[in-house]
Structure 1
Amino acid sequence: MSVTSCPPPPKPALNKGEMTQLLDIAREAIRSHFSEALPRPPQLDLYNRKLLANGACFVTLEVDGELQGCLGTVTANEPLVLEVHNKARDSAYQDRRFMPLTEEQLSSLTIEISVLSDPKLLQVDSEEALIAYLEEHKVGVILTEHHSQAVFLPQVWDKLASPAAFIKALKQKAGWPINHWSPNVRVKTFTTTQIKGKYFSQFV
C-alpha cells in the first residue's frame, strides 16, 4: 500500500467581505426569479479581480434545515461571480432531485456557497491508501473512472466522519459497487472556502 505524503490543497484566498458579496449575488439570483423584471447577471465592474477570476463553486440550499438543492462545478470555466449567480439559480430551480423552490419557502431558506480550490491529483495505488490519507486530511474528493465521476464537498465529513464510509458513499454516488476499485480510478482532492446565510425574508 502506497500512501502519498501530499499535503491538502490550500484554501481559496477569499476574505469574509468577498464571500459576503458572493452570498449577496446568490440571494439576488434567487430573488430575481420571482420578479417581473428580466433576470440580470452581476455587473462585473463592481467586483475585484479575485471575484472576476475564473472559479469553481457549489451552491447548497436548505429549507428548514433540509436539503433543497445543490449544484456546482469542479472546473473553473467562467468568472466566479457569474458561476455563483448561475449555480444559485440552477440549485433553486434545476436540481432534478427536488421540486423547484417556491416563494413560500424563501423565509426558511438558507444558502451556502463553497468556493473550490483547484483540484489536485492524488497519487494513491489502492483504496486503503486513500483511506489512510483521508484519516489525516478531511478534504473534498473527486473520484473518476472513464466517464463516471462523483464529488463530495468537505462538508460531507460532518455526516460521514469515517473515511471508509465516506469513500463507500462516494462510490455509490458514482454508481459503482461498494467494493469496486481499479487502477483506472483517479482521485483528486480539493478544499473550500465557505459562507452560509439566511435568504433574508425582506427579499420576499
Structure 2
Amino acid sequence: MSVTSYQNLNKGELTQLLDIAREAIRGHFSEDLPRPPQLDLYGKKLLRPGACFVTLEVDGQLQGCLGSVAANSPLVLEVHNKARASAYQDRRFMPLTEDQLEQLVIEISVLSEPAVLAVDSEQELIDYLENNRVGVVLSDNHSQALFLPQVWEQLKSPKDFIRHLKSKAGWNAVYWSPSMEVRTFTVTSIKGKYF
C-alpha cells in the first residue's frame, strides 16, 4: 500500500473521519464490544495508510491528544484507534466519562508526511518559523517532541513555540545539539462537537 497526501481530503471525507472518532468513543459506553470501522464502507483515499492526531476538549480544556507521525495503517483505522486512545489512554488525563460527552469537542488532524528541514541552529529554525506556521517534530538522542500547527494559536512567537517544544521533550530552554533533527509538516483538520 502506498502512502497518500491527505491535503486534498474533501469536507465529506473529513466528516466521515469525525464520525469514525465519535463511534470509537461511543462504543466505550455501549454494552456491545467496540468494533473498528467496516473498511468496505470507505473510499480508497481513506483506506490508504495515514498518520493522524485526535484531540479532545471538554469545556474548552484539553482532555486528551494522541496520534502518530508515521503512516502505518489505513487512515480510518488510525482515526478509530487514536480517538479511543485519546479518550481513555492519555496518561495526562483521567479517562473520558459519560458526563463529559455533552461538552466534548473532537478534532481530527491528518498529517502530511513530515519533511526534514535542514537547519544548523535554533536561530535558523526560529527564522524559518517566522513565516511558516507548520507542525514541528524535534528529535535528538532517542528523545522526540511534536507540536501540531494548531499550537500556534496559543504560542504565537516562534521562540516560545520552540522553547515549549524542547520542554515537552525533556530538554532545557537553551538545549540545542548538532545532531538535532527537525521535521515539519502540515495538517488537514476538522473539528466538531460529539453531539
TM range (shorter): over 0.9
For 1:52, which of 41, 47, 51 is the aligned residue? 47
Matches within 5 A, 1:165-176: 165-176=160-171
- Within the alignment, does 1:146 sit opposite 2:141 as a pair? yes
SS of the equivalent of 1:92 reads helix
SS of the equivalent of 1:96 reads coil
**CA-to-partner distance for each residue in 1:38-57, whole Å, 9 max, x for gaps?**
11100001111110000000
For 2:98, which of 100, 103, 108 is the aligned residue? 103
Q: Report the AA paired with residue 104 of structure 2.
A: L
- Larger RCO: Structure 1 or Structure 2 (Cα < 8 Å, ≥ 6 residues apart)? 1
For 2:113, which of 113, 118, 124 is the aligned residue? 118
* CA deviation after TM superposition for structure 1 residue 11, in Å: 6.3
Q: Which runs of 5+ in 1 are unaligned?
A: 1-9
Q: Which runs of 5+ in 2 are unaligned?
A: none
What percent identity do the matched residue pairs reach? 72
For 1:73, which of 46, 68, 77 is the aligned residue? 68
The aligned counterpart of 1:34 is 29
For 1:163, which of 143, 155, 158 is the aligned residue? 158
* CA deviation after TM superposition for structure 1 residue 73, in Å: 0.6
**CA-to-partner distance for each residue in 1:21-71, whole Å, 9 max, x for gaps?**
000000000000000001110000111111000000000000011110000
Structure 1 segments (4+ residues) deviating >3 Å = none
* CA deviation after TM superposition for structure 1 residue 13, in Å: 1.7
The aligned counterpart of 2:59 is 64
The aligned counterpart of 2:122 is 127
SS of the equivalent of 1:113 reads strand
- Kindly tell me the number of residue pairs found equivalent between the two proteins: 191
Give the conservation status (yes or no) of the 8 Å contact 1:11–1:191. Answer: no
**CA-to-partner distance for each residue in 1:165-203, whole Å, 9 max, x for gaps?**
000000000000110111110000000001000000xxx
- Within the alignment, does 1:87 sit opposite 2:75 as a pair? no
**CA-to-partner distance for each residue in 1:68-114, whole Å, 9 max, x for gaps?**
00000111010000000000000000000000000011011000000
Q: Report the AA paired with residue 42 of structure 2.
A: Y
